[in-house]
Each structure stands twice: as structure tokens, then as C-alpha cells.
A and B are shown apart, each in its own frame.
Chain A
Amino acid sequence: MTAIAVGIHSVTKRFDEVVAVDDVDLEISDGEFFSLLGPSGCGKTTTLRMVAGLEFPTEGRIDIFGEAMGLKPPNHRPVNTVFQSYALFPHMTVAENVGFGLAMRKVPATEITERVHDAIDLVRLTGMADRRPKQLSGGQQQRVALARALVNRPKVLLLDEPLGALDLKLRQAMQLELKDIQKEVGITFVYVTHDQEEALTMSDRIGVMNEGKLLQVGRSEEIYERPANRFVADFIGETNFLSGRVEESGVVRLAGGQLVRAVTHDPVGTEVTLTLRPEKIHLYLRAGDVAPGMNTLTGTVHRRLYYGDSLYYEIDFGFAHVDARVENAPRQQRFEPGHEVIAAFSAQSAEALAE
């Protein structure tokens, strides 16, 4: 079993009367790429800052590799942070920025020069050592911030929305690069983001937070396919909600009276919400085309939206509307508003969540 890099035990943080982090328990393994995901103000940044030592928990305990951090200031913790706005020192060159942490720890000058050089190479900024932060683009500044943290070889690297200020294309390129760098240096990354796609593609595990609470922790597939509650289902990706009641184990009666097979966790009679992703719904004109064993619901096409790579059909079932996503593939059947269609989905793709 791998060591626990960061242990967060019953941590609560209050600012005056506002509860920013509410009784969070979390263990992050050594070498893991762990993302804290949630909307702004959910407490993910505060959690990260408490690990860094920039804030202290009101209650609870934070351990790093088994050592209780208590009220240790940030300069005595084996972690480094990549700040959201990079926080590069404007009065220092790139090399001075990157070498700051080493200089503070009184590393010999020749070793600093060498390690700074290597770190600048690692983030592919070779030749930029003597520039000032102001003379760099956003993406380059981001790399300096990364090098400045990594050069210290922290046991845990904390990243607070590091790609938030970059445009989409650059962000996607940096996501891959960050993941590669993490593999190369092999240290634990704790990554804070509000971008669900970023979290899904980069992380080994994700912790979803809302209103200070940690709602679910799991691998990307678990979070997406088996959300623990309505908030997680809604926040990660797109989904449809259908209300109903558990009829028997694995069967839900929808508000419209239809019986569908679904993944249930609650006793018979519980009011539940089915979450059903748009891409899991297949549309057919004839009942004979539907594969055996699928749930079917009959409805009318209400609206069609063209997205280029896909089409969204809004289907009216009478008691609810759902969105179905259809790939814009060759020979794919098109449906027109007003058509009566059969929406089919498997039992595995419908998760029944208790209210």
C-alpha cells in the first residue's frame, strides 16, 4: 500500500460566521494526481490553502506524510504552491524567481544555478532566464510559476486553478504537459479547478466539493457514471433528471407512470431522481429497431439544436423533457421536430439518486 501524502481529518474552516470548509475528510496517496473540483466559493481553494499553511483549520487536523502540520507556517511545510494568478515577483528575473525558494533554504549558489537551469528546461523556457515576468506571455508566466515550485522538489505540489487565465487551446496543451511533468517528477499533485473537463482528463482521482462539503471522491469514470447525488450529476457534464419512485430493487416508476430498469440504492418506495446522460439515449422511429433489454420511452421531438459534431434533440415525454445527444456521423438518422420517436437507454446508464 502506498503512503498517504496528504491526510485531511475532520477539517472545518470558518471565516467569522461563514463556513468555508465543512468537516472534510480526505486522504491523498503518494504520487497521485488529485483534483478538487467544484464551483467558485465551494471551499476547494481554502482547503488547498490550509494544506499550504496559508490558512489554518478552525477544527480538525492536516497531516503531510504522516506528520501533523498544526500551526506550522508555510515556510516550514514540505509543499509548494502554484498560485492562481502565478504571483511571480515582478522585480526579479525568471531565474531569480525560480531560484527564490532555493536561496531561502541556503542552497549553495552553484547548485542553485544548476537546478534553476534544469527547472527552466523542464518547463521549456530555455533562453528566457533573464527576462522579467512582464516580458512573458500568460502561458510562459504559468510555466515560470510551475518551475519556481517544482525546483524545490516538494513532497506535494499544490496547484490553484493554474490554467484558469489561459485561453482554451493553450489550456488544453498545458493540461497534457502538466500531466507529463507530473509523471516525470513523480510527486503528488493536488489540483484545484472549477473546470470539470480539466479534472476528468487529468486526474487519477477527483473530489467534488460544494458549499464547503466534500460530496464524492472517486476516479473520473466513477464520478461521471455513478454520481453520488444530484449536485455531482449536474455539475459534472450534462444530464437529464427524471423524478420517480423505487418500485422494486432495480426498477423505478417514473412520474408519468412508466416502469424503467435503473441502478437503485434505496429501499422500495423511496422518492428518487433518475439521472440520464444525453449521450446514453438512443433515438429510433420504429420499436422493432430497439435492441432487446433496453428501457424505452415514447415522445415527440420538440426542438433540434445543431452543434457541429453532434445534434441535440429535446424530446417531450409529456411528464418531462429530456435532451438526447446524437453524434453527427455519416448515415445517422435525422429527426425533425414533431416526429414521434422512441428513446432507448440501458438500465446501467440510469442512476437513481435519493433526494
Chain B
Amino acid sequence: MSTPVGTPRLEAASERANRRRGLLLALPSYVYLIVLFAIPLVFVGVYSFASRSRTGKPELADWNLDAVAKLLDSTVLQIAWRSTWLALLNTVLCLLVAYPFAYYIATRRERVRNMLLLLVMIPFWTNFLVRTYAWRVLLDSDGLVTRLGEGLGLWGSMLFSAPAVFLGLLYGFLPFMVLPLYAAIERVDWSLVEAARDLYASGWKAFRRVTLPLTRPGIIAGSILVFIPSLGAYVTPDILGGAKTTLLGNYIVGQFLAARNWPVGSAVSMAILIVMLIATTVYFRSGGRTF
């Protein structure tokens, strides 16, 4: 044999082969992401600097900053502000509802736990649009929820109002909060909580000082998973809110379809993307550290 076993050349060759195999495994995902995600995103980015022809066709020839400048327009800023508030409020609502529930699931016996997790995921089997229309029926003037509220004398029909939108958003995004929280709480070493109790912490103090900090990665992951789609929410405010107020989601849709102003739609989309990218990076850096 000319090359003895274990020489650097053989080792390098084996590493190259390993890398090739790895690339082969990732290839379908790469193709998918590049063709259907990266390239269209580049289009959107480029269109942000295009101008709108009289027929509504984006003109790439004389590119300019008109669409980007529109971002600082008071109407757009107002819409962005409103959407941010809506998304923030929805995130907080989801967190408040999901944390106790995730805690409850994580502290059950394994069989009960798996059952409950399945129940959390079942709604995904039905299309989101269909489920939102179902809420419309429930909230309508002769809907189940409305009649219950009237029976109790507490509320009337909430359809096409802010509470209806929040109800719909909470319903739609709750699983995205429950699942990461569950994963974080399930990993908690309960002997730490016992140690806190042993060191004179009340049940609430032990939660505040030990359980909550230890589950922070789950809180952060869940918040991001809810906040981002809430910011661009379109279906829920449109169907349950009656599209009475303009949010970022329906503003962008309007620019692309009704106003046929692709450059402005693209610019707003890109702006959200960039702001979210920066915000999540900062958020992860601040709280995502491991111990």
C-alpha cells in the first residue's frame, strides 16, 4: 500500500466526503429556500426602489427613493404604531393565558401531558381562515358567544369590534406561546424549586425567583413567535374586525392589490422585515443567554 492508514491525506478525504454527504442532505431545503424565499425577497427589495407607472406596473428603469420616503409619511407611521400596539397587547395576553396552562401541562403525568399537548395542536388540522369564519359565526348577533353574554347580561355582539379582534388573535396564536413555554417549564429541575422552598421562599417567591428566570428562554421564544405574526396579522382584523381600522397587514395588501403601488408595498414589507430582524436580535441577546 502506498498510503498508510491514518495519514493526514486520508483524514482530509474522509472529511470532504462527510461534508459532501451533509450538503446532499440539506440540498432540498436549500433549493426550496433559495427559489421560493430568497429570490422573491430580492424582488421585493428591488421593487422598493422602483417607481410606479401610470398603469400600476413597477418601473425598474428610473429607480428612486420615493417609496422609501413614504415610510416616514404620518399615515404609515400611525398604522405601524397601531399594529405594534396590537401585536404587543396580543403577546402579553397570550403570555398571561399560556403560562399557567403550560405550567399545568408540564406538571401532569406523562399520559395526561401528551393528551393535552395533542389537544393544543388539533386546531392546526383545520385551515386558519375556516377557523376565523367559525369565530365570526360564534360572535354574530345570534351566535353562541353573544347569546351567552346576553344571558349573563355581560356583553352583546362583539363582532367587528376590538374585543373580537383580540379574541381571534389570542385564539389563533395561543399554541405558538403554549408550546415553547411548555418545553421550557418541562425542563425545569424541580429540586431547585424545592431548594428555594427549603430556603424559606413561599410558593410565590420560589416561582418569582427560580421558576420564572429559568423559563425565560421559553417566554422569549414564545413572545417572538406570537409578536411577529401578530404585527402583520391580516385575516383576523379583516374578518372579525370588519377591516374598520387599517393595520400594517391590510395596508400592504391594499398597496399591492387595490392601489397597485408595488414599490410602496415592497418598501413597507422590507421595513418591517429589517426592524423585526434588529428587534429580535437585541431581544435574544439580552435574554437568551444560557447559564
Interface residues of chain A, those whose CB is within 8 Å of chain B, are: 52-54, 73-75, 79-81, 83-85, 87-91, 100-101, 104-105, 132, 134, 148-149, 152
Interface check B194, CB cutoff 8 A:
yes
* Cβ B205 vs Cβ A87 within 8 A: no
Interface check B41, CB cutoff 8 A:
no
Bound: A260/B194 CA distance, A: 55
* A90-B291, A91-B213, A91-B291 known; A74-B197 Cβ under 8 A: yes
**A17 CB to closest chain B CB, in angstroms?**
16
Q: Which residue of B lies closest to A54 (CB)?
A: B194
Residues of A within 8 A of B199 (CB): 75, 80, 100-101, 104, 148-149, 152
Residues of B within 8 A of A148 (CB): 199
Interface check B191, CB cutoff 8 A:
yes
Bound: A207/B159 CA distance, A: 70
**A62 CB to closest chain B CB, in angstroms?**
15
Residues of A within 8 A of B205 (CB): 104
* Cβ A83 vs Cβ B214 within 8 A: no
Bound: A88/B195 CA distance, A: 8
Residues of A within 8 A of B210 (CB): 89
Residues of A within 8 A of B213 (CB): 91
Bound: A104/B207 CA distance, A: 13
* Cβ B201 vs Cβ A75 within 8 A: yes
Contact with A along B165-199 (1 / 0, CB 8 A): 00000000000000000000000010110111111
**A104 CB to closest chain B CB, in angstroms?**
4
Interface SS of B by simple majority: helix
* Cβ A87 vs Cβ B195 within 8 A: yes
**B15 CB to closest chain A CB, in angstroms?**
32
Of the candidates A74, A80, A89, A132, the one whose C-beta lies within 8 Å of that of B192 is A89
Of the candidates B192, B202, B203, the one whose C-beta lies within 8 Å of that of A87 is B192
Q: Which residue of A lies closest to B189 (CB)?
A: A87
**A234 CB to closest chain B CB, in angstroms?**
32
Bound: A74/B200 CA distance, A: 7
* Cβ A134 vs Cβ B291 within 8 A: yes
Residues of B within 8 A of A75 (CB): 197-202
Contact with A along B125-141 (1 / 0, CB 8 A): 00000000000000000
Residues of B within 8 A of A54 (CB): 194, 197-198
**A90 CB to closest chain B CB, in angstroms?**
4
* Cβ A152 vs Cβ B197 within 8 A: no
Please give me the 7 A-B residue pairs with the lowest Cβ-Cβ distance, nearest first.
Answer: A101-B199, A90-B291, A87-B195, A104-B200, A87-B191, A74-B197, A75-B200
Which interface residue of A101, A149, A152 has the most chain B CB atoms within 10 A?
Answer: A101
Bound: A148/B199 CA distance, A: 8
Residues of A within 8 A of B209 (CB): 100
**A137 CB to closest chain B CB, in angstroms?**
17
15 extra interchain contacts, Cβ-Cβ under 8 A, other than A52-B198, A54-B198? A53-B197, A54-B197, A80-B199, A81-B195, A81-B198, A83-B195, A85-B189, A87-B189, A88-B195, A89-B195, A89-B210, A90-B214, A100-B209, A105-B200, A148-B199
Q: Which residue of A lies closest to B289 (CB)?
A: A91
Residues of B within 8 A of A91 (CB): 213-214, 291
Residues of A within 8 A of B197 (CB): 53-54, 73-75
Bound: A79/B199 CA distance, A: 9
Residues of A within 8 A of B201 (CB): 75, 100, 104
Contact with A along B226-253 (1 / 0, CB 8 A): 0000000000000000000000000000
Bound: A79/B197 CA distance, A: 11
Residues of A within 8 A of B195 (CB): 81, 83, 87-89
Residues of B within 8 A of A132 (CB): 291
Q: Which residue of B lies closest to A145 (CB)?
A: B195
Bound: A41/B259 CA distance, A: 74
Residues of B within 8 A of A73 (CB): 197, 203
Residues of B within 8 A of A88 (CB): 195
**B275 CB to closest chain A CB, in angstroms?**
30
Residues of B within 8 A of A74 (CB): 194, 197-198
* Cβ A152 vs Cβ B192 within 8 A: no
Bound: A203/B150 CA distance, A: 72
